[in-house]
A = this chain, B = another copy of it.
């Protein structure tokens, strides 16, 4: 199915008046503060968040998965789902493929499908944390870090193939999430594991096209429960520096120990020009992969404050933005619409921060004022502004509501059945 622009306009029509009332009031308030509202609208429109191909189906935990209906069974259907999201929110114009789950059979056909719904191809993702049927070597004890040369070679080869697939689709980045590590003290030599990983990544790096980036994720634990080879930003940063100018660190919000100050990590990486990408989600305990903004919206705002400061104050290239969440309980598309909306709200609030005043408060050690300045932006109800930006782009004033009113899931179930199950986790 495709969501037509007409449907969205029909949905919008009865809401336009109230939207205008709210937007006008907010715009007036912002202009009184000296903000340029048209410029804000433009920036909000420009912010596009990629959708990972594995996020269109229901996720699960080690204790089980409860599938929903109408899930996409093919790559074409996954791209169509991203297309629906983008039609509704005009904010998700790319898909990030996961190999081998999403290897296209016919590249031209897949590209045509994507183009027809306005979707491009973001970073491609390799998978060396699972064995595929008939695989010659097992990743049970690691892949790029494995002590066994043949396993490392297989994992390197897989990553090189992922690059080839990405090249055919127009991707410009390879994301490497390395689950390698150990679950027990003594299982591995930290030193050898790190060195193996570096050597393997260097082989992959050699195969990277000139205009590509390599994005190296870090994560403290899970699926290994004693150590992870790339356990923190420091390790990823160390590797990225050794690899070269095309290698960057990727931050996944859920990949941190309790209480980590993530916004500071973002700032440091941008200062060093090494923040390559972002996986958005939210969490309370570990890598919970919940809807963005559902647990710690203020932290998200603080992170965006750093990102926006970094855009203007550092040489860091624009990072790749992506959702990376697991939709265990909600309709995946509803979950993604909520996540993208949360990102846009935080981004917008961060745009409202009065940086001149903030800088002055900082110089004067006026701690209370600095807090007031940040919270003034955060407390502002920016929904009319975000929704206006989307509306002006042709999207729905309230994308989630539109998704429901237009009966999209019901149609997908009709088309695809209620028992399909998306490939992936």
Given contacts A234-B237, A295-B298, contact A179 B358 (CB under 8 A): no
Copies in the complex: 4
Residue of B nearest to A270 (CB): B191
* Closest chain B CB from A98 CB (angstroms): 12
Given contacts A225-B283, A259-B284, contact A186 B425 (CB under 8 A): no
Given contacts A183-B288, A285-B286, contact A294 B259 (CB under 8 A): no
Tally chain A residues at the interface, Cβ within 8 Å: 108
Task: Check if A184 sits within 8 Å of B425, measured CB to CB.
Answer: no
Given contacts A63-B130, A257-B257, contact A383 B379 (CB under 8 A): yes
> In the complex, what residues of B have CB within 8 A of residue A125's CB?
none
| In the bound complex, CA of A18 to CA of B140 (Å) | 37
List which A57-75 residues lie within 8 A (CB) of chain B: 59-64, 66
Task: Check if A191 sits within 8 Å of B313, measured CB to CB.
Answer: yes
| In the bound complex, CA of A221 to CA of B284 (Å) | 9
Task: Check if A285 sits within 8 Å of B221, measured CB to CB.
Answer: yes
| In the bound complex, CA of A233 to CA of B188 (Å) | 21
List which A255-291 residues lie within 8 A (CB) of chain B: 257-261, 263-264, 267-268, 270-272, 283-286, 288, 290-291
> In the complex, what residues of B have CB within 8 A of residue A179's CB?
63
Task: Check if A231 sits within 8 Å of B261, measured CB to CB.
Answer: yes
> In the complex, what residues of B have CB within 8 A of residue A22's CB?
29
Task: Check if A290 sits within 8 Å of B231, measured CB to CB.
Answer: no
> In the complex, what residues of B have CB within 8 A of residue A378's CB?
297
Task: Check if A329 sits within 8 Å of B258, measured CB to CB.
Answer: no
Given contacts A62-B62, A330-B367, A380-B381, contact A186 B147 (CB under 8 A): no
Q: Does A235 contact B (CB under 8 A)?
A: yes
Q: Does A345 contact B (CB under 8 A)?
A: yes
| In the bound complex, CA of A237 to CA of B378 (Å) | 34
- 8 Å CB contact of A184 from B183, B257, B329, B383: B329
Task: Check if A64 sits within 8 Å of B131, measured CB to CB.
Answer: yes
Stretch at the interface among A100-108, A368-376, A389-397: A368-376
| In the bound complex, CA of A331 to CA of B368 (Å) | 8
Q: Does A5 contact B (CB under 8 A)?
A: no
Task: Check if B191 sits within 8 Å of A362, measured CB to CB.
Answer: no
Residue of B nearest to A364 (CB): B147
* Closest chain B CB from A168 CB (angstroms): 27
> In the complex, what residues of B have CB within 8 A of residue A338's CB?
368, 371-372
| In the bound complex, CA of A227 to CA of B284 (Å) | 9
Q: Does A112 contact B (CB under 8 A)?
A: no
Q: Does A388 contact B (CB under 8 A)?
A: no
> In the complex, what residues of B have CB within 8 A of residue A330's CB?
184, 367-368
- 8 Å CB contact of A222 from B285, B370, B372: B285
Q: Does A334 contact B (CB under 8 A)?
A: yes
* Closest chain B CB from A197 CB (angstroms): 11
| In the bound complex, CA of A115 to CA of B267 (Å) | 49
Q: Does A45 contact B (CB under 8 A)?
A: no
- 8 Å CB contact of A306 from B190, B260, B298: B190
Task: Check if A359 sits within 8 Å of B189, measured CB to CB.
Answer: yes
Q: Does A311 contact B (CB under 8 A)?
A: no
Provide 11 A-B residue pairs closer than 8 Å at the C-beta atoms, listed in order of the A residue: A59-B62, A60-B62, A64-B129, A66-B140, A148-B363, A184-B290, A191-B267, A191-B309, A194-B271, A220-B260, A286-B286
Q: Which residues does A use to contact B, with CB under 8 Å? A: 22, 25, 29, 59-64, 66, 129-131, 138-141, 147-148, 179, 182-192, 194-195, 220-223, 225-227, 231-235, 237-238, 257-261, 263-264, 267-268, 270-272, 283-286, 288, 290-291, 293-298, 302, 306, 309-310, 313-314, 326, 328-331, 334-335, 338, 345, 358-359, 361-363, 365, 367-368, 370-375, 378-381, 383, 400, 425
Closest 5 CB pairs of A and B: A234-B234, A186-B370, A190-B267, A66-B140, A225-B288
